[in-house]
Amino acid sequence: MNIVIAGGGVIGLATAWRAQLRGAAVTVIDPAPASKASHVSAGMLPPGNEQLYGQKDLLRLYMASRELYPSFVAELEEFAPAGYRRDGVLDAAFDEDALYTLDHQQAFQESQGVRAERLGPEECAKLQPAFAPALGGLLSPDDGAVDPRVLTAALRTAIESLGGTIVRRRVTRIDGHAAVLDDGDTVPFDRLVLAAGCWTHRIEGLADGAVPEIRPVKGQILRLHSNPPLLNLTARALSRGSSLYLVPRLDGELVVGATYEERGYDETVTAEGTRDLLTRVAEVVPGAGDLRFAEMNASLRPGSPDDLPVIGPTTVPDVYMAAGHFRMGVQLTPVTAEAMAAYLDDTEPPAHALPFTPLRFT
Ligand code: FAD
């Protein structure tokens, strides 16, 4: 089976690798692999988030992915390090309302069998001494984060080690069973996966309505640096009705995110976005101002019409889609890749993936 994947972000690359493990020959086509949302993403793997509340199907998908993560990473690490840590996530409350949010989060986690330990102010301070005084916290010891830059580099190594090809070109349109590239070349396929994030529906040549529009949702994100790392573990700081995530890497990088903006395909880093994140991080981590300013980036989360992932066959024979993962693409990578590999292999896809087929929009 010759599979072509248009788009080499974390979703396209992981799909390619899992399809290879089932015997497929894969070609990933992307003008700049892993350079968009997957490059700037924090890679936070939290014990849950408010997006899951009341979303039964998404919750099942999410829990399946959370369960798959350790084995997915262990298999990938036979090729290269994957940048995964599972040493806990601390949710810290900095105002009274945030304490109620923690109650809710704790009840939610307990209902899902996700371990959660309630902490008082002193325990928070002990765990994360660089934090401003928190009113309380919730520690989820079995959750963590992955560095998406390391993860996607490992996926590329795995794909190439297994004989796959990564072509640095843009797919402009589909012509029967061939992808037409921006230099006019064509790449034939038995099956095609459209995994080009919020650019997926811009690939031409498919019947109207076969591919739902994937809208861009801009996120700006900050990277600071210190040696040794300022924070000990992955955290979310809750205050004034919002949550700021703080993802420390072992090499001293501290990722602070993020903004949510509906501004079309604009990927500019703005003064306002930078000021917003610098202000918010300084409120909860007073020493952050002394850290080295490493990067400020912007990219586009892929949002489907119902904000849920789109995974599976389209109405066009042999054309599949894996896109629209919005704020959770890194979290949902293992489950998406597994489901896609099953579809491409004509085996039964896992039941938790079925509600997410592109056919729900037709
Ligand atoms: P992308 O990574 O956008 O990849 C799409 C690829 O398609 C790109 O490489 C692009 O070059 C390529 N492409 C485009 N057009 C074409 C074409 N015509 N032909 C071929 N290739 C093409 N998720 C989490 O789970 N945890 C987080 O902590 C988190 N934090 C985030 C923070 C920010 C600031 C942002 C922006 C996102 C965050 N996300 C997070 C969301 C996550 O990054 C995305 O859901 C995920 O990266 C989507 O992956 P993707 O492969 O679908 O898309």
pLDDT digits (tens, 9 = 90+) for 16-51: 999 999 999 999 999 999 999 999 999 999 998 888
In angstroms, what is the span from residue 36 Cα to ligand 1's centroid? 5
Q: In this predicted complex, what is the ipTM?
A: 0.99
Domain boundaries, the chain: 2-70+148-213+305-361, 89-142+216-303
pTM of the predicted model over 0.95: yes
Percentage above 90 pLDDT, the chain: 98
The answer to whether residues 52 and 112 touch, using CB atoms and an 8 Å cutoff, is no
**Does the domain at residues 89-142+216-303 carry the CATH identifier 3.30.9.10?**
yes
Residue that has been written with the tokens 């248009």 in this structure: 6
Per-residue CA distances from 152 to 164, 178, 310 (Å)? 15, 26, 20
Ramachandran area for residue 234 (φ above 0: left; ψ -120 to 50: alpha; else beta): beta
Using the atom order of ligand 1, give the atom closest to the CA of residue 329. Answer: 45
Using the atom order of ligand 1, give the atom closest to the CA of residue 332. Answer: 25
pLDDT for the residue 362: 87
**What are the backbone dihedrals phi and psi of residue 65, each rounded to the nearest 5 degrees, phi first?**
-70, -40
Kindly provide the b/e burial profile for residues 15-36, where b requires at least 16 CB atoms within 10 angstroms of the residue's own CB: bbbbbbeeebbbbbbbeebbeb
Using the atom order of ligand 1, give the atom closest to the CA of residue 258. Answer: 34
pLDDT for the residue 317: 97
Using the atom order of ligand 1, give the atom closest to the CA of residue 333. Answer: 25
Same fold, 2-70+148-213+305-361 and 89-142+216-303: no
Closest CA to 186 of 168, 204, 174: 174
pLDDT for the residue 51: 85
The answer, yes or no, to whether any atom of ligand 1 lies below 6 A from the CB of 295, is no
The answer, yes or no, to whether any atom of ligand 1 lies below 6 A from the CB of 7, is yes
In angstroms, what is the span from residue 35 Cα to ligand 1's centroid? 8
Q: Which CATH number fits domain 2-70+148-213+305-361: 2.40.160.40, 1.10.10.10, 3.50.50.60, 3.40.50.150?
A: 3.50.50.60
Closest CA to 272 of 290, 296, 249: 296
pLDDT for the residue 49: 85
The answer, yes or no, to whether any atom of ligand 1 lies below 6 A from the CB of 171, is yes
The answer, yes or no, to whether any atom of ligand 1 lies below 6 A from the CB of 30, is yes
Q: Which two tokens stand for residue 259?
A: 């903004």
pLDDT averaged over consecutive 10-residue blocks of the chain (362 residues)? 98 98 98 98 94 93 98 98 97 97 95 96 97 98 98 98 98 98 98 98 95 98 96 96 95 96 97 97 96 98 98 98 98 98 97 98 92
The answer, yes or no, to whether any atom of ligand 1 lies below 6 A from the CB of 41, is yes
